[in-house]
Amino acid sequence: MTGRPVGYLRAHGFRGPIWPVNPRATEIAGLPCFPDIASLPGAPDVAIVLLAPDRAEDAVRALAARGCGAAIVLAGGYAEGGPDGAKRQAALRHAAGGMRLLGPNTIGLVNLTDGIVLSATGALEMEGFRAGAVSLVSQSGGILGAVLSRGAAAGMGFAKLIATGNEADLDVADFIDLLVDDDATRVIALYLEGIRRPAAFRAAAARAQAAGKPIVAFKVGRSEAGAQAAISHTGALSGADRLYDALFRQIGAIRAERFSDLLDIPAALATGQRMAGRRVAVLTSTGGAGALLADAFGLAGFDLPPPDAETAATLSALTGEPNVGNPLDLTLAGVKTEIMQGAIAALLDSPRYDALAVVVGSSALAQPRLAADAIAACLVGRDKPVLAFVSPHAPAIGAALQAQGIPAATAPEAAAAILSALAAPAMAPAVQPAPPGPPPGPPPGPPHGPPADLRAGQFDEAESKALFARFGVPAVREAACATPEEAALAARAMGGRVVLKALSRTLAHKSDAGGVRLNLAPGDVAQAGDGIFAAVTQATGAPPDGLLVQEMASGVEVILGLTRDPHLGTAILLGMGGVAAELFGDTALRLLPIDRATAQGMVDELRGAPLLRGFRGRPPADEAALVQAVLDFATMGDALGDRLVTAEINPLFVRAAGQGVRAADGLAVLA
Amino acid sequence: MTGRPVGYLRAHGFRGPIWPVNPRATEIAGLPCFPDIASLPGAPDVAIVLLAPDRAEDAVRALAARGCGAAIVLAGGYAEGGPDGAKRQAALRHAAGGMRLLGPNTIGLVNLTDGIVLSATGALEMEGFRAGAVSLVSQSGGILGAVLSRGAAAGMGFAKLIATGNEADLDVADFIDLLVDDDATRVIALYLEGIRRPAAFRAAAARAQAAGKPIVAFKVGRSEAGAQAAISHTGALSGADRLYDALFRQIGAIRAERFSDLLDIPAALATGQRMAGRRVAVLTSTGGAGALLADAFGLAGFDLPPPDAETAATLSALTGEPNVGNPLDLTLAGVKTEIMQGAIAALLDSPRYDALAVVVGSSALAQPRLAADAIAACLVGRDKPVLAFVSPHAPAIGAALQAQGIPAATAPEAAAAILSALAAPAMAPAVQPAPPGPPPGPPPGPPHGPPADLRAGQFDEAESKALFARFGVPAVREAACATPEEAALAARAMGGRVVLKALSRTLAHKSDAGGVRLNLAPGDVAQAGDGIFAAVTQATGAPPDGLLVQEMASGVEVILGLTRDPHLGTAILLGMGGVAAELFGDTALRLLPIDRATAQGMVDELRGAPLLRGFRGRPPADEAALVQAVLDFATMGDALGDRLVTAEINPLFVRAAGQGVRAADGLAVLA
């Protein structure tokens, strides 16, 4: 294994000087060997350290002393292995001083732009890699090998592939930054296990977006259970993976859902083509594969309209078939170059379509170049995306297409994922990169003083709602009372029927403990209050701190919450209330800060949003006030910073249009 | 193309007599050629007809006259092309008389068990096909080619592959029947565009299940919009694809979600192994790929528990690592045969696991046989499933594993799909095939007379609910009235607050037309009735037929409906009412007939089922009465047969335990 990197470096085209260091050898792979780092003829640009942890630290120290630019430490046995390893890793980092460090526990990096491979990955056993425009930053070395070998076999080209390993120093955010400035890189693919510096990551991603370089991210850990925050629904509904969904959405990154997407989508984006709408034509020589594609496209929300009259006439004249549809099946017309080329040109020139997918069927096994040549001939002077779906096992055909810049999918689902990426709103047309705007600032709203007067711990319901009201989210009319008798007086003063609740700084789920009574006449409040005292005492072993009397409220129920993730920061959650958020998972999640458009987007994202908009004869609700409440709650989250543990309004009643929102229940926990 | 089938037949091992027929040739591919069918030396077992439609019909007629067993007609230009083609197809079928016909518009069939290929698929350009235990019936010839070529390249073996084309005679159901009796076939894979004879299909599928031969089905058309039955929610909620979901579930078939699953799942099932639980161990030599697998398994609902103490001790001794987890990463221990083999054996012998997944990492590119040999050595005498995930591009390694009976996935999602299939409840362990029981009969219940007294057309609400009550589903107390004054009298007689509705045989969505008033005091009914007459008249141009006065009902709202699909028959739908069915799609669907267990299964399937069971302090609802109502409604559907167009109760109130259900609104349309 220690011999591999030198061999790979030379096999893949490095022509500069290589200085092996080994006290027990005079020559390695035909190169003169130095006994130690101090003897090197100069300061190396980069060193690859192939020593076990017990000796790597000294080597790194010596390299730093020699003025080396950066060191790559491949060995494992560091922080990934436990506390002892973490200590070793800290010492390694310290030994590097000002020298940059990649790893440890990495497979290294592969630079195909310049023919510099500094890696031990077995994938380098392959030959004939193509330099291309896709770069990969992977937190796993094995995945680097899988992406490189699979991509190369599929005819894809790469610029740089970097495995960051334990990220003792250089991390994913650093390499995104680097790749934004790398002329050879047009698309950045990420394989992520976690993000160490979310702020730096977001800043680097914003630079990539400003530079018009799409990010495609695959994140493992999707099946991890959400934080088991029993105290609030918001915590339970904001699983770690959903936070990453929010993050990727907010930085404009495309999330690769399947592992293969991490290859297919970047390769397609690297062509520079983008899809202006969602209408796609399918051209096939085999009905079944055409149906497969149409099906996958339909599931992904694409339209397959029939050709417009002019295009249909052109296609009929070309094929001799009176009826031409979409998919357009050339089976009966015969799969001939001139027909294929004519059909591709006609479909691309039709104003009815935003992209074209061409099926390469089993007949291609006898005529392997037909489709690729026909497509390539038509691409000249046309700028709509064309992709191929290779239906039989024909890897050489797929690779040839891909090498000509024609995305070639081997699964219908991959073809749909490719089109979805090319059509994603975040993917502004390559010719018009998004202007490099500043990152979103705090949302507008009245200035709020620092929350220094707030105590730590769990707030009771009345305290929680008072806090929310300070930031602009009003509560229902209510009165906090010490005894049932006091509550009865308050209810009479309020007029009308009321809600009576236990007031407590420790009880989280009041209704589960018998601490909530709805729709009470004022005369029944005293007795109900006694009942609540008894029920809560029985359920928890202690009486509540008091009682809360509230007016009965109505409107569309939503849940609005804040939760703080130790890694990614504060997230805001909006969900349809009642049972929808909990049983049907109808929630929208974003990381703070957010702006008004994002708050509106959260409302739009809810499947239950029609309930706010006059669904089946209901009156429209005050959606504008809801959007403002989301913004106000977000402002509170920003102001509380890392003092926030969780905050939640459940339910928040969205009243009829013009009548605002009212928090009917609330909970806040501060650190 | 016409020369291909003879060449393929000989190239793939057929040694029996081949009799080419062509009036213009004396020899084809070295074989003496007959001028016409009448001149043949005997009655052929099967004929493959390579003529265009204009001459195929005569050839088929002559073959039938000659006593040929079956003819395969490859040509297209029949029913798939429109009405003229459909006529040609009918004539072709007529010409065949008692002779069986495969096609037209088919690529033919491939029998690898006996080395008989009667097909023109370009996939037969490949060599070295393996005979195996998976058979495919495909309604598309192109898909047959894709499955055969991809499967062969992946090291999979096949028994029979049949493309049924236009199914003028022999169809999918016929071939399932045939494959049930085929000793070489252990798994039946289906590629479906539609089912021509649902009853025959279900009967054949039941025979396959009784024989312990799993069916794996891929169905295109998933993105088709549901039947646009504006009149009932049931129709809109019962999209064509959901009916196929119900069908596959009810026949115990596994649905292939991705096209690649149609290869991977049958190949894994063909090993005969089944997974007894949902606990899986992952063994890897590369952390990233192990994480990928663990993630995919977790998303699919599998558990990855850490090893039990005894197994952990064995593994620690073996690897020299104190901490062994799941995934078990051998990176530091080194990827050596004896360690790998020991780890596989220990994990398979652990009572903690039901299956094992082994990652083949990039290092395998240098040691290609290591994993396959280690796994194969351990499989002897052990019967838990083992599958491999090949992380880098290494097709030869995957094919070698597959050829040794070890399912080899190249995508983590495929590995999860394979395990899901092996663990599916429908997949009884291969050693204990399900007993061949009769198909489900009509559910128990009181006998009902034929519904001959029922008129055709749309029933008004009162008529609809009277019909449902006849079959055992009670309605709320109500009175149909002609005028607002009559309604006011009825409301006073009823006592308490009431609901007032427009009564109509034409109005489907009453509330949208202002035809529903809730929570009225009896004294307000007359005026509300006037309002309904005015609103409905304004909305529809005609007054309602009358008014319906109902008691206010309460309980958990569900929707219960029947809808008739022209192809698959009558389906029953149960959904959470209110907005959940419509906005959140929380519904369960089955084809009739159903039994009690199926009705209970429908309730269990609803995400909103907790609402029936005392969710967050609510009283438990009468779930038993709901299950009975589902059965009663199904009985009505069976009794109405093809007179049913649609029937729906929305909402059906499920009252507190012991208090039954009440239909609060209903609609029936009969033919």
Q: What is the mean pLDDT of residues B135-159?
A: 95
For A260, the closest of B146, B411, B615 (CB atoms) is: B411
Q: Which residues of B touch A365 (CB under 8 A)?
A: 122-123, 125-126, 149
At residue B225, the pLDDT reads 47
User: Nearest-CA residue of chain B relative to A513?
Assistant: B617
Do the Cβ atoms of A286 and B149 come within 8 Å? Answer: no
B505 sits in the region (left: phi over 0; alpha: psi -120 to 50; else beta) called alpha
At residue B427, the pLDDT reads 58
Q: Which residue has the higher pLDDT, B174 or A374?
A: B174
Q: Which residues of A touch B291 (CB under 8 A)?
A: 140, 193, 220-221
Do the Cβ atoms of A286 and B391 come within 8 Å? Answer: no
Cβ burial of B519 (10 Å; 0-12, 13-18, 19+) is exposed
For the full predicted model, state whether its pTM sits above 0.80: yes
Any idea which of A648-652, B39-43, B231-235, B580-584 has the lowest mean pLDDT?
B231-235
* The pLDDT of residue A304 is above 70: yes
Do the Cβ atoms of B365 and A122 come within 8 Å? Answer: yes
CB A473 within 8 A of CB A648: no
Do the Cβ atoms of A413 and B259 come within 8 Å? Answer: yes
For A140, the closest of B291, B395, B512 (CB atoms) is: B291
Give me the half-sphere count of Cα atoms (radius 13 Å) on the Cβ side of residue B357: 40
Test the A interface: residue of B8, B139, B223 with most A CBs within 10 Å: B223
Assembly ipTM: 0.88
B254 beta partners: B216
Do the Cβ atoms of A511 and B139 come within 8 Å? Answer: no
Separation between Cα atoms, residue B281 and residue B350, nearest integer Å: 10
The nearest CA of chain B is from the CA of A635 a distance in Å of 31
At residue A232, the pLDDT reads 60
CB B540 within 8 A of CB B215: no
At residue B21, the pLDDT reads 95
Q: Which residues of A touch B580 (CB under 8 A)?
A: 579-580, 583-584
Burial A612-645 (b: 16+ CB within 10 A, else e): beebeeeeebbbebbbbbbbbbbbbbbbbeeebb
How crowded is residue A543: how many other Cβ atoms within 10 Å of its Cβ?
A: 14
Residue B154 is which amino acid? Answer: A
Q: Which residues of A touch B514 (CB under 8 A)?
A: 617
Rg over alpha carbons for chain B, rounded to the nearest Å, is: 31
Q: Which residues of A touch B608 (CB under 8 A)?
A: 579, 583-584
Report the Cα A143 to chain-centroid distance in Å: 18
Residue A623 is which amino acid? Answer: E
Do the Cβ atoms of B291 and A77 come within 8 Å? Answer: no
Mean pLDDT of the residues in chain B: 90
Q: What is the mean pLDDT of residues A15-28?
A: 92
Going by C-beta distance under 8 Å and a sequence separation of 6 or more, which residues neighbour residue B392? Answer: A122, A123, A145, A146, A149, A150, B360, B361, B362, B364, B365
A557 beta partners: A653
Mean pLDDT of the residues in chain A: 90
Test the B interface: residue of A124, A143, A261, A330 with most B CBs within 10 Å: A143
At residue A426, the pLDDT reads 66
At residue A436, the pLDDT reads 38
Nearest to residue B166, comparing CAs of B85, B59, B97? B85
* The pLDDT of residue A76 is above 80: yes
B450: confidence class by pLDDT, cuts 50, 70, 90: very low
Burial B390-428 (b: 16+ CB within 10 A, else e): bbbbbbebbbbbbbebbbbbbbbbbbbbbbbbbbbeebb
Kindly state the tokens that stand for B231. 């009149």
Separation between Cα atoms, residue B340 and residue B374, nearest integer Å: 6
Q: How do the residues of chain A divide into helix, strand and coil, expressed in percent and rounded to 5?
A: 40, 20, 40
Q: Which residue has the higher pLDDT, B414 or B370?
A: B414
Query: Checking DSSP bridges between strand B215-219 and strand B254-255, what pairing results, if any?
Result: parallel
* The pLDDT of residue B579 is above 80: no
Test the B interface: residue of A74, A127, A242, A391 with most B CBs within 10 Å: A391
SS3 category, A520: strand
Q: Which residues of A touch B332 (CB under 8 A)?
A: 76-77, 81
Separation between Cα atoms, residue B164 and residue B136, nearest integer Å: 10
How crowded is residue A538: how many other Cβ atoms within 10 Å of its Cβ?
A: 11
Task: Count CB pairs under 8 A between chains A and B.
Answer: 224
pLDDT tens string A452-497: 688 899 999 999 999 999 999 999 999 999 999 999 999 999 988 9
Q: Which residues of A touch B260 (CB under 8 A)?
A: 411
Q: What is the mean pLDDT of residues B320-345?
A: 84
Tokens 């029985």 -> residue: A538
Do the Cβ atoms of B391 and A142 come within 8 Å? Answer: yes
Residue A615 is which amino acid? Answer: F
User: Nearest-CA residue of chain A relative to B321?
Assistant: A81
User: Nearest-CA residue of chain B relative to A297?
Assistant: B223
Do the Cβ atoms of A393 and B323 come within 8 Å? Answer: no
Q: At CB < 8 A and 24+ separation, what contacts does A393-397 make?
A: A393/B123, A393/B126, A393/B146, A393/B149, A393/B150, A393/B152, A393/B153, A393/B154, A394/A360, A394/A364, A394/A365, A394/A368, A394/B149, A395/A153, A395/A154, A395/B395, A396/A368, A397/A360, A397/A364, A397/A368, A397/A371, A397/A372
Q: What is the mean pLDDT of residues B300-321?
A: 93
At residue A495, the pLDDT reads 85
At residue A370, the pLDDT reads 82
Q: What is the mean pLDDT of residues A81-101?
A: 94
Q: Enumerate the H helices of A380-444 as residue ranges.
A: 395-403, 412-423
Helices A240-250 and A198-210: angle between axes, nearest 10 degrees: 30
Q: Which residues of B touch A584 (CB under 8 A)?
A: 580, 584, 586, 607-608
Do the Cβ atoms of B298 and A223 come within 8 Å? Answer: yes
Separation between Cα atoms, residue A280 and residue A347, nearest integer Å: 9
CB A216 within 8 A of CB A628: no
Test the A interface: residue of B192, B260, B391 with most A CBs within 10 Å: B391
For A143, the closest of B154, B221, B289 (CB atoms) is: B289
Any idea which of A147-151, A611-615, B467-471 has the lowest mean pLDDT?
A611-615
A337: confidence class by pLDDT, cuts 50, 70, 90: confident
Backbone φ and ψ for A42, nearest 5 degrees, come out as: -170, 180
Do the Cβ atoms of A616 and B392 come within 8 Å? Answer: no
For A616, the closest of B153, B224, B511 (CB atoms) is: B511
User: Nearest-CA residue of chain A relative to B296?
Assistant: A223
At residue A480, the pLDDT reads 94
Q: Which residue has the higher pLDDT, A244 or A363?
A: A244
Burial A283-319 (b: 16+ CB within 10 A, else e): bbbbbbbbbbbbbbbbebebebeebeeebbebbeebb
Of all residues in chain A, what percent carry a pLDDT higher than 70? Answer: 93
The nearest CA of chain B is from the CA of A127 a distance in Å of 13
Going by C-beta distance under 8 Å and a sequence separation of 6 or more, which residues neighbour residue A13? Answer: A115
SS3 category, B328: strand
Peptide bond into A593 cis (omega under 30): yes
How crowded is residue B32: how many other Cβ atoms within 10 Å of its Cβ?
A: 11
For A583, the closest of B258, B394, B607 (CB atoms) is: B607
Element housing B584 (H / E) = helix B580-584
At residue A433, the pLDDT reads 34
* The pLDDT of residue A277 is above 90: yes
Going by C-beta distance under 8 Å and a sequence separation of 6 or more, which residues neighbour residue A593? Answer: A440, A441, A442, A443, A634, A638
The gap between the terminal CA atoms of chain B, to the nearest Å, is 50
Going by C-beta distance under 8 Å and a sequence separation of 6 or more, which residues neighbour residue A236? Answer: A226, A227, A228, A229, A230
pLDDT tens string B403-446: 999 999 999 999 999 999 999 876 544 333 333 344 444 444 44
Any idea which of A188-202, A225-239, A590-604 has the lowest mean pLDDT?
A225-239
| Residue A274 Cα distances to A267, A343, A373, A411, B8, angstroms | 13, 21, 22, 20, 43
Question: Most distant CA pair in chain A: distance in Å?
Answer: 99
Do the Cβ atoms of B361 and A122 come within 8 Å? Answer: yes
At residue B440, the pLDDT reads 44
Separation between Cα atoms, residue B577 and residue B606, nearest integer Å: 11
Nearest to residue B537, comparing CAs of B511, B508, B515, B505? B515
A100: confidence class by pLDDT, cuts 50, 70, 90: very high
For A584, the closest of B139, B223, B586 (CB atoms) is: B586
Kindly state the tokens that stand for B546. 């009358």
At residue A215, the pLDDT reads 97
| Residue A512 Cα distances to A461, B292, B615, B655, angstroms | 15, 39, 10, 21
Q: What angle do CA A390, A395, A398 make, to 5 degrees?
A: 50
For A611, the closest of B149, B220, B579 (CB atoms) is: B579
| Residue B307 Cα distances to B312, B357, B654, angstroms | 5, 14, 46
The nearest CA of chain A is from the CA of B392 a distance in Å of 4
A660 sits in the region (left: phi over 0; alpha: psi -120 to 50; else beta) called left
Q: Which residues of B touch A138 (CB under 8 A)?
A: 288
CB A128 within 8 A of CB A153: no
pLDDT tens string B215-274: 999 998 877 644 334 456 666 666 678 889 999 999 999 999 999 999 999 999 999 999
Kindly state the tokens that stand for B650. 């929305």
Do the Cβ atoms of A288 and B142 come within 8 Å? Answer: yes
B61: confidence class by pLDDT, cuts 50, 70, 90: very high
Of all residues in chain A, what percent carry a pLDDT higher than 90? Answer: 72
For A153, the closest of B291, B393, B617 (CB atoms) is: B393
For A299, the closest of B146, B222, B394 (CB atoms) is: B222
The gap between the terminal CA atoms of chain A, to the nearest Å, is 50
